[in-house]
């Protein structure tokens, strides 16, 4: 396109730059400038829209659910081993060990830990002392997607130095998950170091474990039942999260 101004005359030409002539001054404008002039408006419009969208989208977002460290995964069970704090703290460490020799939890006074386990029936060892360790047995019958709680307390001057209490769902008010357990943050000890210690003490542990198993078999049904976690003792993940 071409625009030519001379006096009062006006000429337009196709496919040519636009020229404005006034006296000795000539101004040439490329016809593509019209296209360029529209682009900033489009860009500004898109930018304004982009600035508005995040604000409205943020307001519509649903807050994420905070995961509890004590909520069991759908395909596993979760064992919470809790050792309530005592006024006179004991320096004895509790080690919960699987039959394969893997440390599941380590508890000092006031500690609490959650150990994931596969559903099914298990026997675990509660160890105290080192030379040689004392071993007590705890039987677990677990369902996937549920959290179970076991309280452990130290005792003195007795052959079984740990008082093992299975927290039964049926014994809790309204069968609710214990608030004291939910509010206590889990400890994070070095379980690998514990497992290495078990491996080092293996010969002594195996001898004591055999003795503990014979005592378990010879004991009363009442004793074995009191030291067995049953499948219906657990709580679902949703019940664990509820305040």
- What size, in residues, is the chain? 243
Q: What percent of the chain has pLDDT over 70?
A: 72
Query: Cβ atoms within 10 A of the Cβ of 177, count?
Result: 24
Looking only at the bridges linking them, the beta strands covering 134-142 and 228-229 are parallel
Which secondary-structure segment (H or E) carries 149?
strand 146-154
pLDDT computed for residue 66 by the predictor: 53
Query: Among 44-53, 59-68, 185-194, which stretch is predicted with the lowest mean pLDDT?
Result: 44-53
Average pLDDT of the chain to the nearest whole number: 80
Instruction: Give the separation between CA 179 and CA 212, rounded to whole angstroms.
Output: 33
- Higher-pLDDT residue of 43 and 174 is 174
- For the chain, the domains span 1-42, 77-241
Rounded to an integer, the average pLDDT of 44-70 is 49
Asked if the model's pLDDT at residue 48 lies above 60, the reply is: no
- Higher-pLDDT residue of 170 and 56 is 170
Cis amide bond preceding 132, omega within 30: yes
Rounded to an integer, the average pLDDT of 162-180 is 96
pTM: predicted TM-score of the whole model, two decimal places: 0.72
CA end-to-end span of the chain, whole Å?
Answer: 75
pLDDT computed for residue 89 by the predictor: 65
Distances (CA, A) of 78 to 5, 8, 229, 230: 88, 93, 12, 13
Q: What percent of the chain has pLDDT over 90?
A: 63
**How do residues 196-243 score in pLDDT, each as one tens digit?**
999 999 999 999 999 999 999 999 999 999 999 999 999 999 999 987
Phi-psi region of 37 (alpha: psi -120 to 50; beta: other; left: phi over 0): alpha
Let me know: does 185 contact 101? Beta carbons within 8 Å. no
Let me know: does 14 contact 30? Beta carbons within 8 Å. no
pLDDT computed for residue 216 by the predictor: 97
pLDDT computed for residue 138 by the predictor: 98
pLDDT computed for residue 243 by the predictor: 72
pLDDT computed for residue 32 by the predictor: 47
pLDDT computed for residue 27 by the predictor: 43
Let me know: does 107 contact 93? Beta carbons within 8 Å. yes
Instruction: Categorize the per-residue pLDDT at 131 as very low, low, confident or very high, splitting at 50, 70 and 90.
Output: confident
Closest by CA position to 212, among listed 123, 151, 94: 123
Instruction: Categorize the per-residue pLDDT at 37 as very low, low, confident or very high, splitting at 50, 70 and 90.
Output: very low
DSSP 182-232: HHSPPP---HHHHHHHHHHTHHHHHHHHHHHHHHHHHS-HHHHHHTEE-GG
Asked if the model's pLDDT at residue 119 lies above 50, the reply is: yes
Rounded to an integer, the average pLDDT of 20-25 is 42
């Amino acid at each position: 396109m071409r625009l030519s101004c001379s006096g009062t005359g006006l000429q337009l030409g196709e496919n040519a730059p636009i020229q404005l002539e006034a006296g000795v001054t000539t101004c040439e404008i490329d016809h593509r400038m019209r296209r360029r002039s529209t682009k900033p408006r489009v860009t500004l419009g898109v930018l304004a829209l982009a600035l508005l969208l995040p604000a409205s989208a943020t307001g519509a977002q649903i807050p994420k659910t905070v995961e509890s460290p004590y909520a069991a995964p759908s395909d596993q069970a979760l064992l919470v081993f809790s050792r309530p704090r005592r006024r006179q703290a004991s320096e004895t460490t509790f080690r919960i060990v699987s039959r394969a020799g893997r440390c599941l939890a380590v508890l000092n006074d006031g500690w609490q830990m959650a150990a994931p386990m596969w559903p099914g029936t298990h026997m675990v060892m509660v160890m105290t002392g080192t030379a040689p360790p004392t071993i007590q047995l705890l039987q677990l019958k677990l369902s996937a997607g549920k959290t179970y709680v076991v309280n452990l307390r130290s005792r003195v001057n007795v052959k079984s130095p740990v008082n093992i209490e299975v927290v039964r769902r049926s014994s809790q008010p309204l069968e609710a998950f214990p608030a004291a357990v939910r509010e206590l943050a889990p400890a994070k000890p070095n379980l690998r170091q514990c497992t290495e210690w078990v491996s080092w003490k293996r010969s002594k542990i195996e001898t004591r474990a055999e003795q503990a198993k014979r005592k378990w078999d010879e004991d009363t049904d009442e004793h074995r039942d009191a030291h067995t976690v049953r499948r219906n003792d657990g709580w679902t993940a949703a019940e664990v999260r509820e305040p």
